[in-house]
A = this chain, B = another copy of it.
């Protein structure tokens, strides 16, 4: 036994039981002392909801007030964090010093947990990055989970669950992997910094809800195609493992994550289709497509200066302090790409009573008083990045009034033609702002532009689209380059880094040499 997993994909239930409502009330008393504090910060005067004593506060059921909702949401986060911390404390009393404590997160970025706080109680984070297979296989969701898991403690992480054969709580989405895909994915995990890959589970269950969440073996419990491929990659890892484990990253691009913003915006959504996570994933997809490796940083992270570029999905709910840190980050030379609605509400989900974007106004270089939803996508002008039909904004338009910001692109509506994208030089950095929801293509070009201005582009951006690359330094101090072919066709590219060799084949890799990758295959070049 090498370590302890203290629970499984733990989430808050959100269920407002009498016990939970009572614990919530205790929290409020401790945190806010007097009921009049919440009367003010949540605006309970509206609709005559003022409370004179704590006991007058209605329980969670049916609550509409955004401030109350957000506090409850964070209360639920803390319930899970505290529970896991308590579990970890108990295990710590009994485990051997060489054993670790971990806890697994289901795939993706979670707005109903404080993943950073949970990670603080663990020795190592675990992720369960399940993924789509067959023609739909790529590294997008695998790396989203991996990059987050790695960022939570700035170190390596474990994969405790991932697809063996088919998955599903029923039999409607049974898509076994093509030959080679399972092996390719093992290395995809490692390329992001995983130190272990486990399957859920060894053999398929004959009963229960997960009858079709199949293991390495089928229900017949006999060797099969998947078992053979697991055996192959296991044999490779037995040999190469020491050169692959403990891969270290030094990423210069980060995506800023704010669960408060995701939640507060969900109480006052701008669209049925576009929300905080939509924009976050659009930004993530942009750097994925560009072969740029990102970290995640939590809003309020005091060490933003380790990054050259910060991508900010709608930072809708944030304290003055958090916004000041971003402003300072720009002033000190940071490059920020920031989405609409940032700075609008404070940490209580309450809208600021100054002109938007509040404390970000100087760094952003504009203000606005009005906004409109957009019934249809609307064209922008000029088309700086040559994206043609994709030069559009949709869903939301802020009526930006530039003060010091330059206009990158504007709307063309006859009644109003507000700037849609602006860029402001502030101190020694810049803040690029998107006052609308961009097309995926336009978002990618905006981010490419900013990443390039930060001096972070190179040959990785010239690879065939099916080839993804990831870098790191292994435990022996050698630089590794993973080249992964996410397609059923052979891919060719020119290798641009220092001379070395492919650890899997021992083939030499010289700078400028043409490299071939078979379908669903990979190379791991270790520089000399």
- A residues touching B (Cβ–Cβ < 8 Å)? 42-43, 46-47, 64-67, 134, 165-166, 170-176, 178-179, 204-212, 218-222, 224-225, 267-272, 348-356, 369-373, 375, 396, 414-415, 488
A268 to B222, CA, bound (A): 23
Expressed in whole angstroms, the minimum distance between the Cβ of A42 and any Cβ of chain B is 6
Q: Is the CB of A207 within 8 A of B272?
A: no
Q: For residue A212, which residues in chain B have a CB less than 8 angstroms away from its CB?
A: 268
Whether B222 and A355, one on each chain, are in contact in the complex, defined by CB atoms closer than 8 angstroms, is yes
When distances are taken between beta carbons in the complex, the residues of chain B under 8 Å from A354 are 220
Contact of A174 among B66, B67, B209, B371 (CB under 8 A): B371
Q: Which residue of B lies closest to A42 (CB)?
A: B207
Minimum distance in angstroms from A67 CB to a CB of chain B:
6
Cross-chain contact of A206 among B166, B170, B205, B351 (Cβ < 8 A): B351
Interface of A is mostly: loop
Q: Given A66-B211, A207-B67, A208-B64: A370 and B222 within 8 A (CB)?
A: no
Q: Using Cβ atoms and an 8 Å threshold, which residues of chain B touch A170?
A: 267-270
* B221 & A353 in contact (Cβ 8 Å cutoff): yes
Instruction: Kindly provide the distance from the CB of A435 to the nearest chain B CB, expressed in whole angstroms.
Output: 13
Q: Is the CB of B206 within 8 A of A350?
A: yes
Cross-chain contact A166 with B372 (CB below 8 angstroms):
yes
Contacts known (A46-B207, A208-B43, A208-B64); A369 close to B270, Cβ less than 8 A: no
A204: chain B residues at CB < 8 Å are 351
Beyond contacts A166-B371, A172-B270, A225-B370: 7 other A-B pairs, Cβ-Cβ < 8 A, are A46-B207, A171-B396, A175-B373, A178-B415, A204-B351, A207-B350, A218-B370
Sample of 17 A–B contacts (CB below 8 Å): A42-B207, A43-B205, A43-B206, A43-B208, A66-B208, A66-B209, A67-B207, A170-B268, A170-B270, A171-B268, A171-B396, A176-B370, A179-B415, A206-B350, A207-B349, A211-B268, A225-B369
**A355 and B174 contacting across the interface, CB-CB below 8 Å:** no
